[in-house]
Amino acid sequence: MIGELIKSHSLHFFFQALPDLLYLFGYKNHQPELSELIQFDPDLTSKFYDLIKIGNEIDGLFGGRSIHPITMFPGSTISIDSAKKIKIAERYLQKAEENLEYVIERFVKLFAKSSTPQYFDLSKPIYMSLHNNELYYRYDGNIKINAGENKIADFIVDNYKIYFDKDPGLRGINFQNDEIVIVGPLARYVNSRDFVQEIYKPAIDKFDSSWYESLLFSNFLRLLEMAHEADRGLKILKNPILKKQEGYTLPINIKNKDGIGIVEAPRGILLHHYHLDEKNQINEVKLFIATEINIPTINKMLNDFSVDLYDKTGDIELIKQKAQLIIRSFDPCISCATH
């Protein structure tokens, strides 16, 4: 999961977010093409290419391959020749931390003092994410819904139906009052006390106040999250249990007809609920996909922005060009959203 997040966030930031940021904050008068992007800051380019490779390599080391890992099965993993691979992974994550230190400092220098465009402002969103005693956690834990003004729900994943459910005819989470919900780095940041490492807390304070209410802030949070994950990965690799290998037997008896699993994917909460019939065959499936949860928010921001800009200019082509900036800021995964 750590390797995949580093890879996913790096790809999004360098190839989608960075060109938009350079355009929005006046470093370019257009979204730069790839060749311009690579040449803008060669050191930055090399750091991100490194980070993409590091994410791939970690997934390959522990997953058997970098895409669609094959070493996991229910309750355990296939032997991963741990001693050697742990050493390699440690070097990769140490390198990731070095690269991110440069990248984060560069982001602050380039963008932090500027005000963000108003059409990226978030209007009292509801943040939903996992946490573990209010600490940053991506695997298991409780779901926290933070609506501001002390309206907070906090519950185990098995109770999700009490708070939200999915109507097959609708997209996204169907709350009782059609609230706008955001998942992903912004939600994890708001709902976790330790999202920002101590070393980077001074960097947060350097931003113009407009950033804290802006969707664009999620681009910076992705960098901080990668640093958090690299540090967490190094701590996991020091756990002696990784060197322990023993036989494992798959469970024979099914104890529960409902299986509910949840993780924080790079783009936000990913929840799967499977139900078995009397023959122990799956007869009901519900999938809550991060991008799909964000779609109502994306639609609202796009609609509000497009109507306003059309009233001012009547220029449909300009609206199409600017609307892409909003969509890319969410880092939507189209294939994920079509599960």
Statement to judge: residues 288 and 175 lie in one domain: yes
Containing domain of residue 323, as a range? 117-196+251-339
Please give the structure tokens belonging to residue 275: 């139900």
C-alpha distance from residue 19 to each of 29, 60, 158, 252 (Å): 11, 29, 41, 52
3-class state of residue 247 by DSSP: coil
Residues 261 and 192 in one domain: yes
Q: Rounded to whole angstroms, how far apart are CA atoms 173 and 216?
A: 23
Which range has highest mean pLDDT (223-227, 244-248, 276-280, 331-335)? Answer: 223-227
- Quick one: which H or E segment has residue 195? none
pLDDT band at 164 (very low <50, low <70, confident <90, very high): confident
Same domain as 39, residue 79: yes
- Mean pLDDT in residue range 133-152: 86
Number of domains in the chain: 2
**How much is the average pLDDT of 16-28?**
95
Rounded Cα gap, residues 251 and 114, in angstroms: 56
Asked if 227 and 308 sit in the same domain, the reply is no
Report CA-CA distances (Å) from 10 to 7, 15, 47, 209.
Answer: 5, 8, 10, 25
What 3-state DSSP class applies to 88?
A: helix
Contact 288, 336 (CB under 8 A): no
- Give the pLDDT confidence score for residue 70 in this predicted structure: 87
Task: Give residue 166's pLDDT band: very low, low, confident or very high (50, 70, 90).
Answer: low
- Both 188 and 52 in one domain: the answer is no
The H or E element containing residue 25 is none
Mean pLDDT of the chain: 89
Which DSSP symbol is given to 125? P
Whole-number pLDDT of residue 292: 87
How many percent of the chain have pLDDT more than 90?
64
pLDDT score of 256 more than 70: yes
Same domain, 47 and 192: no
To the nearest 10°, report the CA torsion of 274, 278, 283, 289: -10
Asked whether residue 174 falls in the same domain as residue 222, the answer is no
Confidence (pLDDT) at 108? 97
Q: Residue 193 above 60 pLDDT?
A: yes
| Contact by Cβ (8 Å): 280, 258 | no
The length of the chain in residues reads 339
207: in domain: no
Given a contact cutoff of 8 angstroms between Cβ atoms, the answer to whether 175 and 293 are in contact is: no
**Model confidence at 179: pLDDT above 70:** no
Residue 261 DSSP code: E
- Predicted pLDDT at 155: 92
pLDDT at 19 over 60: yes
Give domain status of residue 204, yes or no: no
pLDDT band for position 180 (cuts 50, 70, 90): confident
